[in-house]
Homo-oligomer: A and B are copies of this chain.
Amino acid sequence: MAGSTILLVEDEKNLRKLIRTYLEREMINVVEAADGKEALELWEEEKYDLVILDVMLPEYDGWTVCKRIRQNSHIPIIMLTARSEEDDKLFGFDLGVDDYVTKPFSVKELIARVKALLKRSNHQLMIEVIEVGELKVDKKMHQAFLHDEPLDLTPKEYDLLLVFLHNQNQALTREIILDRVWGYDYYGDLRTVDTHVKRLRKKLKHMGKQIVTVRGLGYRFEVTN
């Protein structure tokens, strides 16, 4: 939390400085970028715990930067949107952003959301064993269990399962799944996801039903609390 490093991408200097001041008051380190290009350069250079990203940016806009970051990281991203390009339809499909803050916003609110996300992701990383019903995954062991019986999953199946477990109850498009499991630079058939879902479902036995098909979109790992 304190001691985290944030990449702050915002072209308006005064706003950037203001946010920086507030963040530093929370003992959070801030690296600033004034445009999309700079943001991506800084992104490659160092590791960050969270990104605050303005949508309207010179060079590359926020969506582009976001997409690029999402190609190899699940780091929390907060978008500062003044204009919402997404229409009704598109919005639900954009699953990469963790939170939105709409301009004009109170900096206090933004900071609150930053803290919430940092806490959450910190928490996520700590978790070494994920358990859902009879299903258990020990990340350190790199092994899944069903009824405490080791499950014989292939690497892709394991990765796929983890993506589902990390995004419980979230509808994921095939694109997103392909990105997360195969990597951003993978160029292949979307339907391949289907095949792997089929195989994973089979191995998960009755738990396979938790992987719900979201028709016209993709899949969702459903857990009933």
Name A's B-contacting residues (CB within 8 A). Answer: 81-89, 91-92, 95, 98-100, 102-104, 112-113, 116-117, 119-120, 123, 125-126, 138-143, 154-155, 159, 162-163, 166, 169-171, 180-181, 183, 214-217, 220
Contacts and interface: CB of A to CB of B under 8 A. Distances in A.
Given A92-B162, A140-B169, A87 B180 contact: yes
A212 to B, nearest CB: 9
Given A140-B169, A140-B171, A141-B220, 4 more contacts: A83-B113, A88-B166, A143-B220, A155-B215
Given A87-B180, A89-B180, A116-B84, A126 B102 contact: yes
21 contacts: A82-B99, A82-B116, A83-B99, A83-B113, A83-B119, A84-B125, A88-B162, A88-B163, A88-B180, A89-B180, A92-B140, A98-B104, A102-B123, A103-B120, A140-B171, A143-B171, A143-B220, A154-B215, A154-B216, A155-B216, A155-B217
A138 B171 CA distance: 10
B142 A171 contact: yes
